[in-house]
Structures are given as structure tokens and as C-alpha cells.
A and B are shown apart, each in its own frame.
Chain A
């Protein structure tokens, strides 16, 4: 990037920043490297779709966390609570609509899942609003306290979920029409994973649109770059931040519904289990970057599925391995955020 800046001739024009596209190549590269190792093309397709689906779900969950950190320098260790909350709400909503989820009709299934997602997002968003007020607001700018207080939020949240839904594992079966697999040639692709990819792409597209084409998005990106400057221009970054926090919590709720359906059961501890995964993803992405988070999530998803097939024991550590490799290449993550 520095070379492009140096060669820009005109003084009055800002030097064009060449977008950093190198990390984008990581995904096809990983997929291509995996292809000869799989043995058959159909296995590769199955695993790739599965990996992308997993990556999309992780992205939905992690995107809010990375934005909150980038914008306000707040790392929410309690993010997992919203994931678990979303998943548990899904068990209640889908359980209440058992007639619709049991039918083979795809439309009825969607009509059952959609409200579950909306309820999860609404409740998680509302709880996120309260969480920001009560837990996060008093400790802005104090990292040590933030880590501990949000950790405390995680403990209390998990216990409250146990109070409401009980401590046991609750099964969350897929609606009838989502079960089973489609055959694309020889490759079997699970239907639910296709749906997850579609929803994930939709969320990514919506987020990308908001961030790059709207004024709010412009302010968020500017705030991530330089918070004080945006404040000095007269914008209340704190209000923006509350909005992002609520949106991030709502997305975590949505991600929780999808993760729960993906695992087909939910436990109160699922939040803290997924937390490790999403931390790895946002570290890989470069704390604060949405694009980096997207690539990181897909890489984690693909690698987990490939190694799960080739060497199941290695798969348990594939995330850590990936993180170490990426950090050796770019110590600040794929897309480092400027002022951190």
C-alpha cells in the first residue's frame, strides 16, 4: 500500500488506496489445496458447502462483537449469553409451533422458523440494550474492569437461562422439510446447510450495504477508524454505539437460533463454548474489521470441516493452528484496524 501512495503524482488529489485483496485469495486457495486431498469431487463439494455454512453462522455471531470492539474498544466477554438466549428462545417458539414444524410443507416450516428468528433477535436486542446500560456503560475505557464485568454478565446470564429453561440440554430438531440432503450430481448437500449459507449471505449483504452505502454505516466505519474525530464533528458516537451493540446482540440471537438448529440441541453452556470460537475468528480478522471477520469465519468453517474429514483429532485444534499461522503472517490479523 505504501508504494501506491508514493507513486501518486497529483498533490491535490488524495492518493488512491488500493484495496487489499490478498486475503480474499485465502479462501479459494484453501479450497483448492483441499481438493486433491479429498479423493473424490463429491466429498469435496459436500464438505465445502458444510464448511461455508458453518462459517456463515459463525460470521453472523461474531460480526456484532467485532464492530462493538472496533467502535468503542469494548470487548464483550458476555456475548455468548445472547447466542444461548437466541437458541433457547428458538426452542420455546418452535416448540409452541410443533404442528407447523412437523409438516413436510417447506412454506409452513419457514413460517415457523421465521418468527423464531424474529423473536430471538428482538429479545436478544432488548436484553443487549439493558446489558449495555447496566453492565458495560459504567466501565468504558477500563479494559480490566470490562473483561471482568462482562464475564460476570456471562455467569449471571447463564444462570438466569438455567432458572428460566432449566439446566438440562434441550433438543432442537430441524423442521421436517429442512432435514435430509439434496443430491447435486454425486455430492450430497444437507438442505439446512444450504439454507444457512443463504441466510448468512443475506446478512452479510445487508451488513455490507449498511456499512458501505448508508450514512450510519459511514459514521460507524469512521468511528472505528478514529472515534475522537467523529465526535469532534458533532456526532454522538455513544448513541451510534448503543445501536451497534443492540444490533450485534440481535445478530448473536439470530446466530444462536441457527447454531442451535445446526447442533440440533441447546445447552446453557453453549454461549461460553462458542465464545472461544468467535474470539479466534475476530482475532484472525483483525479486531474491529467486518471484512476480516467474514474471511476469518469462513476460513475457520472450511478448515474445521476439511480436517474433520481428513484427520478428526487434528480438527479439534485446527482453529488454534489457523490463528497462529495467520498471526505469524499478519500479527494484527488479516485486516488490522488503523489506530489500534
Chain B
């Protein structure tokens, strides 16, 4: 009962899916203790950040039926907000707050303007406009090098408690030293859980139902008396806000931000793949998709290196399974999932109870 309240009544509704989600959450919660090493912790943190980012994109794409290519722009605004504030104001919590507040204000303003300007027309038009705006923003960020650090990006110090040098206790706990990295990770994890539950709440509210109605049939929703433009724009603004927060988390974790880490078009494509493979319009799809993708990104290459070595001598095949070509296979998986199981892994699991 309690759990159902926390999950806003939107349970996984499938045994296997429940099991998968429990494993993912447990693994993320215990990551520093179960998976030792800096790389594993980085992967876990990246999964957390992308869960927020992908869930916020799902709010827009899966629940409202809007394709936006400007999602990384808001992600980047959040990351740059924190990065610039910490560079300028020094490493303090006030600076983090100021950076996030400034970034949120900018994101809200921008998403509101873009939404009102172009959400009145067809989905396809919106997709193209956001693509153009996002690429202009990326150019802008790399050009304003006095503020953003240009192509090199910004390296900055985070509040002392989160910096790797800080230590909570002399004695390591269960073999893990209680340093700033660990605190950062748990802060990140807690915020991820909180933001995810908030988004789950939003999509299961009456407001979320209207968004789904607009996705299914915008004309009908309008005829029922809902101002679709208002709802679409609100969805756009909300999703931009969550993406901004995800960006802020990224900057705090990496203690660095540059155009390639938060603004690039490649990340946009990654998000799209995660949402679709995980399952659009399910929220849990974001968890499954982000986990699968980030793990594939970091570990599939090792596997492919083995395959590539094994296939040596056969023409073309070694090139196809070359470790750098991992995106090729995820792209194929993406196309197949759009055709074969449009509701992604989560939808497939739920359908086959």
C-alpha cells in the first residue's frame, strides 16, 4: 500500500519487470560497496543522471507525443549554470544554488518561448525548429569562450564536502573509504530517486492524463475543452526543467563541463535511443533504457573486442564488430524496436505477463 503511494499507483505490473527494476535500484544503491573501482562508480553515476534526463524526455516524447531535439540544450544549460556559478563564485553551496536557479530560469524562459512559438503547428515542424535552435545554442556556447570556456570547457571546484579530498571518517567502512566521492554519489542517487518519483507523480496526475489524451488525439482533446497549446507548452517547460536539473547533477559529479559532455548532438541521439529501447510512455522504460545503454556504452565495447578478435580473418565481419561500431548495433536495435515493439522493453514485458 505504502509502496503504491510512493509510486503514484503506477506499479511495474509485471513480475520480471519488477525483478529487473529491483535489481537495478539495489545495484545503484549499493554500487560503491558491490562494484569496486572508479570506473564502476562513474558508470553508476552516469546511469543515475541519464535516468533523470531520459525520464524527462519521456515526459515529452512518450507522454505528450512531442519530438524535441533541443533536450540536450536544457541539459547543457543546467550543467553550464552550475559550472559557471562555481567558477565565478567559488566552491560553495550558495553558488550551486545560484547556478541551478539561474539555469532553471533560463530553461523555463527558453522552453516557453520555443513552445509558444512552434508548438501550435505540426510535430514535424517542432522537431526541425528545435534541431536548428539546439545547434545554434551549441555554437553560441563554444563561441562565448570568456564565460563558458569555449571548446575546452570549464574545470571547477565543488563544495568541500563533495570533493574527493574530503573524508568523513578515518576508518574505511566495509572496505570503502568514506570520502567526498561517496557522498557525491549518494547525493546524486537520492536526488535521482526523488526526481524520478516526482515525474512519476506528474504523469499519473490528471494533468498527465490530459497529456496522454493529447498524444492519442490532439483534436479530440481540444474538442473536450482542453487548451492543447497550454498543456503541450507546460509539458515542454516541465521536461526542460528536469533536464536542467539532470545537467546540474552531471556538472557536480564530473567537476567539469564542456560542449561535448552536455550539449552535443550525439547525446541527443543517445537519449532518443534510451527512451525508445526502454519503452516510451512508461517512465520505467527510462530506468531500463538508461541502464542498458550506459552499460552497453561502457562494457559492450570490451565484448565486441573479443568478438572482433574471434572473427579476424573473415572479410568485413571484424569491421562490423569492431569495438568502435557499438552504436551501429544499438541503432539497428532502435529501428527494430520502433517497428516491432514500439512500447520498448517495458511494454514488451508488460504485454507478455
Q: Which 10 A-B pairs have the closest CB atoms?
A: A159-B328, A155-B331, A152-B335, A156-B331, A279-B128, A152-B334, A276-B135, A320-B136, A316-B139, A163-B319
Question: Which chain B residues border A167 with CB–CB below 8 Å?
Answer: 324
Q: Which residues of A contact B (CB under 8 A)?
A: 75, 77, 135, 138-139, 143-149, 151-153, 155-156, 159-160, 162-163, 167, 272, 275-276, 279-280, 283, 287, 313, 316-317, 319-320, 323, 340
16 new A-B contacts, CB < 8 A, other than A138-B339, A152-B334, A155-B330, are A75-B124, A77-B127, A139-B338, A144-B67, A145-B338, A145-B342, A146-B124, A148-B67, A149-B339, A151-B272, A153-B335, A155-B273, A155-B328, A159-B328, A163-B325, A340-B122
Provided the pairs A143-B123, A144-B65, A160-B328 are in contact, do residues A151 and B132 lie with their beta carbons within 8 angstroms?
A: no
From B123, B324, B335, give the contact of A149 (CB < 8 A): B335
The answer for the CA separation of A153 and B272 in the assembled complex, in Å, is 13
B276, A155: Cβ atoms closer than 8 Å? no
A283 touching B325 by the CB < 8 A rule?
Answer: no
Task: Determine which of A147, A148, A313, A320 lies in contact with B133 in the assembled complex, contact meaning CB atoms within 8 Å.
Answer: A320
What is the bound-complex CA distance between A59 and B213, given in angstroms? 40
Interface string of B311-325 (1 = CB under 8 A from A): 000001001101011
Contact A276 to B122, CB < 8 A, known contacts A148-B272, A152-B331, A156-B328: no
- The answer, yes or no, to whether B129 is at the interface (CB within 8 Å) is yes
Instruction: Tell me whether B269 and A162 are in contact (CB under 8 A).
Output: no
Return B145 CB to nearest CB of chain A, in Å.
11
7 contacts across the A-B interface (CB closer than 8 A): A144-B61, A144-B123, A148-B338, A152-B331, A162-B325, A316-B139, A316-B140
Interface size on B, residues (CB 8 A): 39
Asked whether, in the complex, the Cβ of A276 is within 8 Å of the Cβ of B272, the reply is no
Determine whether the beta carbon of B327 is less than 8 Å from that of A159.
yes
How far is the CB of A61 from the nearest CB of chain B, in Å?
Answer: 15
Contact of B131 among A159, A276, A287 (CB under 8 A): A276
Measured between alpha carbons, how far is A77 from B131 in the docked complex, in Å?
Answer: 11
| In the complex with contacts A148-B67, A152-B331, A276-B131, A162-B124 CB distance below 8 A | no
Contacts of B139 in A (CB 8 A): 316-317
Write the B257-276 contact mask toward A (1 if CB under 8 angstroms, else 0): 00000000100010011001
Q: What is the CB-to-nearest-CB distance from B106 to chain A, in angstroms, rounded to a whole number?
A: 17
Q: Which residues of B sit under 8 angstroms from A77, Cβ to Cβ?
A: 127
Complex alpha-carbon distance, A2 and B220, angstroms: 32
B207: Cβ under 8 A from any A Cβ: no
Given contacts A147-B127, A317-B140, contact A155 B327 (CB under 8 A): yes
A146 to B273, CA, bound (A): 14
- In Å, the complex CA distance between A283 and B331 comes to 28
The answer to the question of B205 belonging to the interface, with a C-beta cut-off of 8 Å to chain A, is: no
**B332 / chain A contacts, CB cutoff of 8 Å:** 156
Contact B269 A151 (CB under 8 A): yes
The verdict on A147 contacting B132 (CB below 8 Å), with A152-B331, A155-B334, A162-B324 known, is no
Residues of B within 8 A of A138 (CB): 339
Residues of A within 8 A of B320 (CB): 163
Inter-chain contact B328/A316, CB cutoff 8 Å: no
Residue of A167, A275, A320, A340 contacting most chain B CB atoms (<10 Å): A320
B136 touches A156 (CB 8 A): no
The answer, yes or no, to whether B125 is at the interface (CB within 8 Å) is yes
Q: Does B143 interact with chain A (Cβ within 8 Å)? A: yes
Report A-chain residues with C-beta under 8 Å of the C-beta of B276.
148
